């Protein structure tokens, strides 16, 4: 067992949105995990967000190329696509997922949503029976570190999601959102955050979703919004100053032809924060329309990042400490079979010596026997714990350990 068998293959925000949306798993994570299981992969977790598509796996036999081949087959990609993937393993992969969960690798530094996405990715993998001891530990540690970073470094005091940045972005475009007509398409978490932000800025907010019951439910939570039937969305767009789209549809939900047929020439600021994109990018070429994608929000996000240098430093220290602790845990699990052997042997010796002792002593009460048994167990456990401590300490600094239990040599 080697820590370098922890591996990750993926694509992140370092590539263009046109590339990222080609490998977005979205609602297909379950089928992808099952396909990986059929490929004889024992442990895998897929993290798929608007910024990244990453497969984490633990395997001695599967290589980076095997997983890249899986991406190519699963998404029906050209072979040329291989150049966009990045691959990391071992403690670099451990540090990476810790940084991701902490929000250090997000476009919006410290964003809240990514922590929930990391949790969901682990849960989905567990439900599909393809996350084992190593990745369970890795992702649970990542979640714990992500929480710690947010509570101890001050990152949560800044804009913490793409939706917050989107609202700030349109505010920069219009200077003042009070009285502006805003239309939000999508009632998922990103849509809700955008809606709240727009309401706080004084905008008149209308909302639409393909599932009408979801908008009705949202109306009960946010009575200030106006409901727009999904089929009327183009007419509403034409009347709006601001449009923010955040659905999880696998295709464009706002097409060029249908939009152009209702567009009346007024100035509209449109922000597409979906992945894959909701709005046909050709719409951005229409005079009077300003269309921005997730990648266009980077400038605002970078301004926020500059304000958080101290928080970043503290967060990175927490991450590196977590990597060290995970590494110690990983080294220690190599000796778990030997720890089990020590404990079994300790119990056997205790029982054997107890039987010898009670056979020699006469007129013993049941209470005497119980006290003797407890004392022997206590001595045996103390001796075993000393051996186990030395075993774990040695495992942290040695690749191979030889020791003897009951005269038999054991090697790791």
What are 105's two structure tokens? 């690798």
Residue 68 to residue 86: CA distance in whole angstroms? 9
- The answer to whether 43 touches 57, Cβ cutoff 8 Å, is yes
Residue 200 to residue 334: CA distance in whole angstroms? 54
- The answer to whether 257 touches 278, Cβ cutoff 8 Å, is no
Q: Which listed residue (50, 87, 269, 404) is catalytic?
A: 50
DSSP assignment of 251-298: S-SB-HHHHHHH--S--EEEEE--SS-SB-GGGGGSTTEEEEEGGGGH
Cβ neighbours of residue 216 under 8 Å, at least 6 residues apart? Answer: 227
CA 267 vs. chain centroid, Å, equals 38
Pairing of strands 53-58, 6-11: antiparallel
Beta bridge partners of 11: 53
Q: Tell me whether residue 269 is one of the annotated catalytic residues.
A: no
By three-state DSSP, how is residue 124 classified? helix
Cβ neighbours of residue 339 under 8 Å, at least 6 residues apart? Answer: 388, 391, 392
What are 2's two structure tokens? 């080697």
- The answer to whether 228 touches 206, Cβ cutoff 8 Å, is yes
Residue 31 to residue 50: CA distance in whole angstroms? 19
Residue 2 to residue 134: CA distance in whole angstroms? 11
Residue positions annotated with a catalytic role: 50
């Amino acid at each position: 067992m080697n820590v370098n068998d922890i591996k990750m293959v993926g694509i992140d925000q370092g590539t263009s949105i046109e590339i990222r949306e080609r490998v977005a798993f979205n609602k297909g994570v379950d089928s992808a995990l099952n396909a990986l299981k059929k490929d004889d992969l024992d442990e895998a977790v897929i993290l798929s967000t608007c910024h990244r598509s990453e497969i984490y796996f633990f395997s001695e036999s599967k290589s980076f190329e095997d997983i890249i081949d899986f991406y190519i087959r699963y998404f029906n990609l050209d072979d040329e696509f291989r150049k966009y993937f990045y691959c990391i393993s071992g403690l670099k992969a451990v540090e990476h997922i810790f940084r991701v969960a902490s929000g250090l690798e997000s476009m919006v530094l410290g964003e809240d949503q990514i922590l929930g996405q990391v949790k969901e990715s682990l849960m989905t993998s567990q439900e599909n029976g393809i996350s084992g001891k190593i990745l369970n530990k890795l992702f649970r540690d990542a979640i714990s570190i992500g929480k710690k970073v947010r509570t101890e470094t001050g990152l949560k005091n800044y804009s913490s999601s793409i939706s917050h940045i989107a609202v700030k972005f349109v505010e920069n475009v219009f200077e003042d959102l009070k009285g502006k007509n805003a239309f939000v398409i999508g009632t998922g978490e990103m849509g809700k955050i955008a809606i709240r932000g727009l309401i706080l800025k004084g905008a008149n907010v209308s909302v639409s979703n393909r599932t009408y019951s979801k908008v009705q439910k949202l109306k009960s939570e946010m009575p200030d919004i106006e409901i727009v039937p999904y089929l009327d969305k183009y007419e509403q767009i034409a009347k709006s100053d601001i449009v923010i789209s955040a659905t999880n549809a696998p295709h464009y939900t706002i097409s060029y032809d249908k939009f152009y047929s209702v567009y009346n020439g007024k100035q509209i600021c449109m922000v597409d924060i979906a992945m894959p994109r909701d709005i046909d990018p050709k719409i951005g070429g229409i005079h009077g329309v300003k269309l921005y994608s997730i990648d266009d929000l980077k400038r605002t996000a970078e301004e926020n990042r500059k304000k958080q240098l101290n928080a970043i430093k503290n967060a990175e220290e927490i991450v590196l400490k977590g990597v060290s602790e995970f590494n110690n845990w990983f080294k220690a699990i190599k000796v778990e079979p030997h720890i089990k052997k020590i404990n079994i042997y300790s119990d056997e010796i205790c029982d054997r010596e107890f039987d010898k002792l009670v056979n020699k002593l006469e007129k013993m009460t049941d209470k005497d026997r119980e006290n003797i048994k407890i004392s022997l167990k206590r001595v045996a456990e103390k001796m075993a714990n000393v051996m186990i401590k030395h075993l774990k300490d040695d495992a942290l600094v040695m690749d191979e350990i030889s020791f003897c239990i009951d005269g038999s040599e054991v090697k790791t």
